[in-house]
Chains A and B, each alone.
Chain A
Amino acid sequence: VMTQSPDILSVSPGERATLSCRASQNVFTNLAWYQQKPGQAPRLLIYGASTRASTIPARFSGSGSGTEFTLTISSLQSEDFALYYCLQYNNWPPWTFGQGTKVEIK
């Protein structure tokens, strides 16, 4: 089971956002982060817990291993307000997603 916190994060543009994801068992660094905007498909941001996918801006960073993971957006831009999901791919099937964190404008 993947548990994300908080469910909703209210942040002002330009501020830092820190999102958490906890796994119920060790997934090593087999953890990915996705961004989803309304009406759009999820987009891969981070894989291997800390590797940015191609074209992802450097303001997105991931960290953690084992059961505790963090996605940090260093300075929120207007286009970053969205839903964010973590996904473990260590123990599959099934691939299991967190329930999501909504980053909204404060």
Chain B
Amino acid sequence: EVQVVESGGGLVQPGGSLRLSCVTSGFAFNTYSMNWVRQAPGKGLEWIAFISSSSPTVYYADSVNGRFTISRDNVKNSVYLQMNSLRAEDTAVYYCVRISGRVLDYWGQGTRVAVSS
């Protein structure tokens, strides 16, 4: 069974940093690309970061480029999102999502990030 489990969310002050983790199981992690997608309270879904399966290629949404860094550890079957210079508008539920043939197929349950003083 495919499992995707995020952690690391919480309350952080504006300008602060947070590192999200996503642990996966049930599939050959090193052969899949992964995304982070977020959802602000009461809003729709926003793709924010992509990492390819190996020798990683990464892409970011303009809204987070230069502040967020996506990385992965294929030994630990994990993907990470380092978030720096956080803003109030980064407040959201952050989902880790597997990509299969460009389709975002398996989603974690999400981890909440709140940026507030």
Residues in A with CB closer than 8 Å to B60 are: 93
Q: Which of B4-29 contact A (CB under 8 A)?
A: none
* Cross-chain contact B102 with A53 (CB below 8 angstroms): no
Q: Which residue of A lies closest to B93 (CB)?
A: A41
B44, B45, B60, B109: which has the most chain A beta carbons within 10 Å? B45
A34, A89, A93: which has the most chain B beta carbons within 10 Å? A93
Which of these binds chain B: A42-50, A59-67, A69-77? Answer: A42-50
Q: Which residue of B lies closest to A100 (CB)?
A: B44
A19: CB under 8 A from chain B? Answer: no
Given B44, B46, B102, which contacts A92 in the complex, CB threshold below 8 Å? B102
Q: How near does chain A come to B52, taking the closest CB pair, in angstroms?
A: 11
Interface string of A15-33 (1 = CB under 8 A from B): 0000000000000001010
B interface residues, tally (CB under 8 Å) = 20
CA distance A95 to B49 in the complex (A): 10
Residues in A with CB closer than 8 Å to B107 are: 41-44
Q: How near does chain A come to B111, taking the closest CB pair, in angstroms?
A: 11
* Cross-chain contact A93 with B50 (CB below 8 angstroms): yes
Give me 6 A-to-B residue pairs in the complex whose CB atoms sit less than 8 angstroms apart, sorted by A's number: A40-B109, A53-B105, A89-B103, A94-B59, A97-B44, A97-B47
Interface on A for B, CB 8 Å cutoff?
Answer: 30, 32, 34, 40-44, 47-48, 53, 85, 87, 89, 92-100
